[in-house]
Structure 1
Amino acid sequence: MNVPVEAVLPELLDVLRRERNAVLIAPPGAGKTTRVPLALLKEPWLDGKRILMLEPRRIAARAAAAYMASLLGEKTGETVGYRMRSDTKVGPKTRIEVITEGVLTRMLQRDPSLEGAGIVLFDEFHERNLAADLGLALCLQSQSLLREDLKLLVMSATLEGDAVAALMNGAPVVTSEGRMYPVETRYRREAVKGPVAAAVLDTVLQAWREEEGDLLVFLPGAPEIRRAEKELAARLPAGQALVAPLYGSLTQEQQDRAILPDTQGRRKIVLATTIAETSLTVEGVRIVVDSGLVRVPRFSPRTGMSRLETTAVSRASADQRRGRAGRLAPGVCYRLWTEQEERRLAPAGRPEIAEADLAPLALDLAVWGARPDELAWLDAPPAAAYAQACSLLRRLGALDEAGAVTAHGRKVAALGLHPRLAHMALTALPLGAGGLACELAALLGERDILRGTPSARDADLRPRAEALRAYSGPGRGTKRPPHDSGAAGTAAAEPASFADVSAPGSADVSVLRRLGSDAARWKRELGVPEDESGSTERTGLLLAFAFPDRIAGQRSPGRFTLSSGRGAVLPDMQLLSSAPWLVCADLDDQGAESTIYLGAPVGRDELEEHFAHEIVEEITVRWDRDAQAVRARKRTSLGMLTLRESTIAAPDPELIKDALLQGIRSQGLEMLGWSKQARQLRERLSFMAHHDARWPDVSDEALLAALEEWLGPHVYGMKSRGDLQRLNLAAVLEAMLTWEQRRLLDEQAPTHLTVPSGSRIPVDYSTPEAPALYVRLQEMFGLQATPAIGGGRVPLTLHLLSPAQRPVQVTRDLESFWKEAYFEVKKDLKGRYPKHYWPDDPLEAIPTSRAKPRK
């Protein structure tokens, strides 16, 4: 059967004969995935070398290899084979290898020149898969430094070709036009109101009645697929339809059931995630129902955690989905959104490198021996996420402080697991827990096997490990699992439109067996003894190796603090809620506190033994505001967690002094014992400093800033506010003065002034720029000029009082008062106080502190 891409194959082959690099743009259904590699096989420049084709998804890689082999009349593993994690089919005659995920990266790390390979094809590059971005960057450097004859071909359905062509040193762009068959697109007249899940089901049933052929239904994730499968089974006529799920964690047999025609000839309804968007041909499909939703990972450098977020598809992704209906015949695409909503969709999705956890990429680059800025990227790794990734790798011992890969880091990279999980497995091996670590790595590499079931509310990972042990491996799987099973992986809050999607059911033993197979392979690679059988009680410790930043201490039942300082909470009260120490393997980064989805308890003694290199022991001597005293404690901590704390009976006196002074700084000088004498002395000093900068500054700001100098020597042996209250602050302040300053203080800033009546009246220095004297008017008779202090430079502000001690005049010019204002004041006072002495001439009158002067 002819496919559209065949029309441009001569042009493409001609370009590759002349150039090292090329870009092929071909829409969905053009046949690029299977026809291009086969067309390249007989090219002379290939000279018998292999063709490597990087495929984003395992299911598509397996299907593409099988289809190409069938076109050659062969089986997979002969001329055409594939390589992927835990599944490889290649032979000595294999010329075309379809590879996935990190396989290309590991091949490059083992052999940077890719000897034996003549060309590398990057299929479906528009998906901007992280492995493809990294693979292309490494291949470009290898081509530049080691293999001038290595050719690179980027193939895409929707990608803007100019940008990637420029990245590849101006590579020619070859474009294939047109899909194989037309697809009619049908939009909703009105936006969906209520749950999208219900609208999807109604549309599926409508399409089932109105159109012919099999249906491909795009849903955001496995929970939605399981719920839709259950609903459709109840609403469709019995025996007329095969409802088949299709997502990544299914077994090969389950995936084949969805892809291949039904052996009983029934119409199929395939419920798929984005796994069916590209490359993969689901036979018989002529109808696509698109929910318009996709679930994508979002990584937060701030927390070091990922979450799955359900969002609207991009226009490019929607076009890919629509193209699935026109692969084999004219088709129909039902879109669960309006044409107006279509205009609001993003043109394309964000590349995975901009959203993903970059720890695997950072380790791959370290093994390769390059920094990000030394490679060519379509989008460079975000600096914050990359820095966070390197920080984690240093903590895991995979990188040294200079950022170079360590011997341990090379072992971590060789396992092909996420660095966290590989480090866990390698660290567990000498402890006799390598087998359990491999089982945990298998469980954590997928979505939670209990997700979407009532049992998922229990976040304890240990029952899941026990289920994996019970239902995987030879001779196992004959009894019912202790828990219902669902899909697993990074936890995510479900979208409101799919909030009701959770379908409890029987455990999927095939999933457990597949995970058990992965665990068994890693056990063999690590050399785990076959007879090793350990308790799952060490699960928490092993998780701590993988997630040292997620070790948590209990604040209150169900609420924890992570070693990073962030809060975390169990969504429901359960046995783990009372655990003093917990390790969180799966949690989100939303809100003030992360929600814990998977974890296991760990012992404090285990942490102290195995994380001694990270544990810090410190003496803390601090001011306790509640106790109003200094408290000295010995604290052993892991990150932000306090493992142990005890009181110290006799801490360093210098530390006590510093903590006491810090307490004064935090609460202010009023916590000191200010007597009347001390306050007056401080006010007198303020007066002198206001008029002469050579005097010490005793303002709050200056005293607080210089506590160590003027107060520090006097507080040794003190620990509390009560002790401070007994301080003789007047003596402390006087100690700030020289002998000469003390003499001048008494002379120029006297505490009292003797007035004409003979009374000693205290001087008020509360306003340093204008000290005052509060005195009865009658006691000032006979004094012509205003009294002055400060060496005669500063006249006092006189508050002249009535016999009842009420102010009748405020003045700094006593002479003018006698001449001008006194006589008016005299009239008023004589009327109110007739028995008192009110002379006509105050300057000649006898001053008195009584009603009338003595005769």
Structure 2
Amino acid sequence: MALPIDDVLPGIRAAIRSQGMAVVQAPPGAGKTTGVPLALRDIIKGRIILLEPRRLAARAAAERMAETLGEPVGQTVGYRIRGEAKVSRATRIEVVTEGILTRMIQSDPGLEGVGALIFDEFHERSLNADLGLALALEVRSALRDDLALIVMSATLDAAPVAALMGDAPLITSAGRAFPVETRWLPRPLDARARFDQALAALVFQSVEECPEGGVLVFLPGEGEIRRVEGLLRGLKGCDIRPLFGAMEFAAQRAALAPAAPGLRKVVLATSIAETSLTIPDIRVVVDGGRARRARFDAPSGMARLVTERVTRAEAEQRRGRAGRVAPGTCYRLWSRGEEGALAAFPPAEIEAGDLTGLALELAVWGGSDLPFLTPPHPGVLAEARALLTALQALDSAGRITDHGRALSALPLHPRLGHMLIRAGGGTQAATLAALLAERDPLRAAPADLALRMAAVADPGRVERDGHEVHRGTVERIRLEARRLARAVPEAPLDLGLGQLAALAYPDRVGLRRKGDAPRWVLSGGKGAAMAAGQPLSGARLLVATDLDGDLREATIRQAVAISESELRAVHGAQIVWQDVCEWSRREGRVQARRQERFGAVVLEDRIWSDAPPETMARAALEGLRQIGLTPSPAARRLLARIDLCRRDGADLPDCSDSALLADDSLLPWLGRARTDTDLRGLDLVEPIRARLGWEGVQLIDRLAPAQFETPLGRHVPIDYEGESPGIELRLQELFGVTVHPTVGPKRLPLRITLLSPGGKPVQVTMDLPGFWTSSYADVRRDMRGRYPRHPWPEDPREADPTLRAKPRGT
């Protein structure tokens, strides 16, 4: 049967012959996964490596191509995935998962015997695919200009990929587009509605309204699939088939197989079914509109799975599954109006994922200047390298160590590989590594890692104790454990489970906080907690092997207890005494302690009675920065004078709060400060004068004097905190003054509040000569009657200043 990709295969062949590279854009169902590799067999010398993002897709692609050739898998077409391979000397097309390509290039940069690399479903933007393409482009540029590269995608904006590949030809297949009717909710889903119930109701509706063909339902994860499966048990005439990545291969294949006669197939799938897989006879898609993604926080070293709205690209991918074999219908669990708020594309894993493995691969390769479509964030990459240094995979200069090379050869996260190697291999370490790399084999069980290990060893006993064990997951863990045990030469150390976990997670050793609540401070500095009443809720020390990723205080989902002696046995070199002098916000004082620490975990704590005064002062300064400055009235007046001069252009240092706290200029005045009260009582006048220096003090004394000298020689303080500098004094004290007093570089007139002999304001002026000429006469007329014993000359400009009254009787 002809496929849409057939129309563009000549163009792909021509591009490979002329330029050796191509970008193929084709919608789901076009046939690119099987058609392109088979079409290149006669023009490619050597093996064709087809990269798939998932094991199920790799197997399925190999089987479809082998079936097309009328051969069993393992002859012309074979596959290699983690833990399984079906290839032979006759194999020309080898389907592999993306991580395997990285191992191939790292072990043989020249890729001897390989003629072409095809990256399928590149729009998923997995970290392994991005790294694989970057390495392949580097290999082609430096070693193998004859290596053919093809990138294939369904929804990706392909132009940037073509540009990255040196303006490679961009070839687009129209695909086979049967019309798909889209049906939205009439209004947004009520916020109180349960997702699983609303989606199950939409499935019932779709089956009733569309009586033909299979139904493909998209959900975010296994938990939602199981709940919706339970709600659909009453769906008559339908065969409900779950499909998710952690299922046994046989169960996955059953979900892909045609429905039994007389039954309609309803497949409940995660995003695994968006691309790559062919599911026969799907005519209806029910899209729950959610996707589960990993989000990694580099500073905390924790990843968390988040459930988010799908993007428009993902929604379109899902919709297209209904139109592969005939006209179809797509039901969406959101309203048409909500669609505009969806993001265009999902984030690439390199933008949101854990970069520790990437950093290790870059170190093995010998550099990080690779042609990435999306370069890794420098800060996140630096955090990943810091972890690798702590795991001794990198030396202090960031170069790969022999231990790091050994880690890169293991199909494990570097944390787990480090644990396995440092433990000397062995069954227990291999089982724990496999367990921690897999999903939880228990459902709704306490956060006890030892219970999981027991479930792997004897699932029946754990089930008899009342726990639900996922037998398929246990079998995968056992299989992987056997493989890992063979990968590491066995010389096992006598280490407990907690010690093994501490080797993998040195930053997640938790010390219980004071109080009744089960809360811990982790050695990496973050906080963690678990529900009360669990078996580990009273543990003084534990290792948290799984956390929910909350950045404020993570919830512990898996952990194991560890004793202090066990911790010292595996991390003794990292347990050190530290002198700690710091400001305690909680206690409101400087605290000087001598502490034995493992990271942020304090194993022993003593008073540091002879802490140096400068060290105490620096801790007090940190407290002052947290509390803030409390200037006295005198300090406020001084600061106001400085501010006036600086505003008017005087060259004086910044004495604002932020400037005073930014450097160490306050340290000499903090030697005896210990408490919140001490800091709030700090007099800032002398520190500010010291900051100004002798010349600065002289300058502000000249330009903005603290006091005004009256004609009688009396010194009146000048208030600089108002809109303009001002003084208050009795009117008679200014008799004879014919020039208005000024201050500041710009000779600002003083705001003078003139007082009566009784000390009450009678006039405010910033033009004293003008006041004598204009308003004084009215003031004189009023004041003479009230204060007859005080002088009120007709011409105050000619009178002598005075504060005296006439003697009584004169």
Partner of 1:424: 419
Say if 1:131 and 1:265 are closer, same or farther in 2 by CA, change over 3 A. Answer: farther
The answer on 1:279 being equivalent to 2:258 is: no
Say if 1:660 and 1:565 are closer, same or farther in 2 by CA, change over 3 A. Answer: closer
Distance 2:328 2:783 in 1: 106
What SS does structure 1 have at the residue aligned with 2:469?
A: coil
The Cα of 1:713 is off from its aligned counterpart by 10
Q: Which amino acid aligns with 2:579?
A: I
Partner of 1:469: 457
The answer on 1:639 being equivalent to 2:602 is: no
Give 2:470's match in structure 1, choosing from 487, 492, 508.
Answer: 508
* 1:437–1:542 contact (8 Å) kept in structure 2: no
Partner of 2:709: none
Partner of 1:517: 479
Greater alpha carbon shift after TM alignment, 391-400 vs 337-346: 337-346
The answer on 1:593 being equivalent to 2:592 is: no
Distance 1:599 1:195 in 2: 31
* 1:563–1:641 contact (8 Å) kept in structure 2: yes
Greater alpha carbon shift after TM alignment, 533-542 vs 145-154: 533-542
Partner of 2:381: 386
Say if 1:422 and 1:584 are closer, same or farther in 2 by CA, change over 3 A. Answer: same
Partner of 1:2: 2
Say if 1:191 and 1:385 are closer, same or farther in 2 by CA, change over 3 A. Answer: farther
The Cα of 1:95 is off from its aligned counterpart by 1.7
The Cα of 1:127 is off from its aligned counterpart by 1.8
* 1:216–1:269 contact (8 Å) kept in structure 2: yes
The answer on 1:102 being equivalent to 2:62 is: no
Partner of 1:36: 36
Give 1:64's match in structure 2, choosing from 52, 61, 64.
Answer: 61
Distance 1:625 1:29 in 2: 62
Q: Which amino acid aligns with 1:449?
A: P
The answer on 1:18 being equivalent to 2:6 is: no
* 2:455–2:462 contact (8 Å) kept in structure 1: no
Q: Which amino acid aligns with 2:539?
A: A
Say if 1:156 and 1:540 are closer, same or farther in 2 by CA, change over 3 A. Answer: closer
Distance 1:630 1:200 in 2: 57
Give unpaired runs (5+ residues) of structure 1: 472-476, 485-505, 672-678, 691-699, 738-761, 775-784, 786-798, 808-820, 831-850
Distance 2:760 2:320 in 1: 98
The Cα of 1:573 is off from its aligned counterpart by 4.7
The Cα of 1:555 is off from its aligned counterpart by 5.0
Partner of 1:446: 438
The Cα of 1:463 is off from its aligned counterpart by 1.0
Count residues in correspondence: 759
Partner of 2:332: 336
Distance 1:507 1:801 in 2: 94
* 1:552–1:583 contact (8 Å) kept in structure 2: no
What SS does structure 2 have at the residue aligned with 1:448?
A: coil
* 1:633–1:648 contact (8 Å) kept in structure 2: yes
For residues 454-491 of structure 1, give each alpha carbon's deviation from its aligned partner in whole angstroms, at most 9, with x where no partner exists: 32xx22222112212224xxxxx69836464xxxxxxx
**C-alpha root-mean-square deviation of aligned residues, in Å?**
5.6
The answer on 1:619 being equivalent to 2:616 is: no
The Cα of 1:134 is off from its aligned counterpart by 1.2
The Cα of 1:70 is off from its aligned counterpart by 2.2
What SS does structure 1 have at the residue aligned with 2:537?
A: helix
The Cα of 1:117 is off from its aligned counterpart by 0.6
Partner of 1:694: none
* 1:292–1:335 contact (8 Å) kept in structure 2: no
Q: Which amino acid aligns with 1:436?
A: Q
Q: How does 1:399-418 map to 2 (within 5 A)?
A: 399-418=394-413
Q: How does 1:110-129 map to 2 (within 5 A)?
A: 110-129=107-126
Q: How does 1:92-491 map to 2 (within 5 A)?
A: 92-179=89-176, 182-188=178-184, 190-193=186-189, 194-209=193-208, 210-233=210-233, 235-237=234-236, 240-262=237-259, 266-327=263-324, 329-337=325-333, 340-341=336-337, 343-344=339-340, 345-371=342-368, 373-375=369-371, 377-427=372-422, 429-430=423-424, 434-450=426-442, 453-455=443-445, 458-471=446-459, 480=463, 482=465, 484=467
Distance 2:35 2:666 in 1: 87
Larger Rg: 1
What SS does structure 1 have at the residue aligned with 2:604?
A: strand
Distance 1:418 1:773 in 2: 80
For residues 258-277 of structure 1, give each alpha carbon's deviation from its aligned partner in whole angstroms, at most 9, with x where no partner exists: 11235677432211111111
Say if 1:625 and 1:70 are closer, same or farther in 2 by CA, change over 3 A. Answer: closer
The Cα of 1:717 is off from its aligned counterpart by 10
The Cα of 1:444 is off from its aligned counterpart by 2.5
Scaled by the length of structure 1, the TM-score of the pair is 0.72
What SS does structure 1 have at the residue aligned with 2:428?
A: helix
Partner of 2:702: none
Q: Which amino acid aligns with 1:184?
A: V
Partner of 1:817: none
For residues 737-776 of structure 1, give each alpha carbon's deviation from its aligned partner in whole angstroms, at most 9, with x where no partner exists: 9xxxxxxxxxxxxxxxxxxxxxxxx9999999999999xx
Distance 2:323 2:656 in 1: 79
Say if 1:587 and 1:717 are closer, same or farther in 2 by CA, change over 3 A. Answer: closer
Greater alpha carbon shift after TM alignment, 53-62 vs 587-596: 587-596
For residues 190-224 of structure 1, give each alpha carbon's deviation from its aligned partner in whole angstroms, at most 9, with x where no partner exists: 13533342232223233334422322211111111
For residues 428-454 of structure 1, give each alpha carbon's deviation from its aligned partner in whole angstroms, at most 9, with x where no partner exists: x24xx753333232222233233xx43
The Cα of 1:543 is off from its aligned counterpart by 4.5
Q: Which amino acid aligns with 2:163?
A: A
For residues 577-610 of structure 1, give each alpha carbon's deviation from its aligned partner in whole angstroms, at most 9, with x where no partner exists: 3333333333234463333322233334444443
* 1:307–1:589 contact (8 Å) kept in structure 2: yes
For residues 253-304 of structure 1, give each alpha carbon's deviation from its aligned partner in whole angstroms, at most 9, with x where no partner exists: 1111211235677432211111111111123433322222211222233533
Greater alpha carbon shift after TM alignment, 398-407 vs 119-128: 398-407
Say if 1:207 and 1:512 are closer, same or farther in 2 by CA, change over 3 A. Answer: same
Percent identity between matched residues is 40
Distance 1:636 1:413 in 2: 34
Scaled by the length of structure 2, the TM-score of the pair is 0.76
The Cα of 1:148 is off from its aligned counterpart by 1.4
The Cα of 1:629 is off from its aligned counterpart by 8.1
Say if 1:387 and 1:651 are closer, same or farther in 2 by CA, change over 3 A. Answer: closer
Q: How does 1:676-691 map to 2 (within 5 A)?
A: none
For residues 404-426 of structure 1, give each alpha carbon's deviation from its aligned partner in whole angstroms, at most 9, with x where no partner exists: 22211111111021122222222
Q: Which amino acid aligns with 1:640?
A: A
Distance 2:111 2:614 in 1: 65
Partner of 1:544: 505
Say if 1:325 and 1:646 are closer, same or farther in 2 by CA, change over 3 A. Answer: same
For residues 30-87 of structure 1, give each alpha carbon's deviation from its aligned partner in whole angstroms, at most 9, with x where no partner exists: 212122222222x1542xx111000011101011112222222322222221111122
* 2:23–2:162 contact (8 Å) kept in structure 1: yes
Distance 2:604 2:364 in 1: 39
Distance 1:711 1:218 in 2: 63
Say if 1:342 and 1:387 are closer, same or farther in 2 by CA, change over 3 A. Answer: same
The Cα of 1:634 is off from its aligned counterpart by 0.8
For residues 516-538 of structure 1, give each alpha carbon's deviation from its aligned partner in whole angstroms, at most 9, with x where no partner exists: 111221111113369x9975454
Distance 1:715 1:357 in 2: 44
What SS does structure 1 have at the residue aligned with 2:232?
A: helix
Partner of 2:534: 574
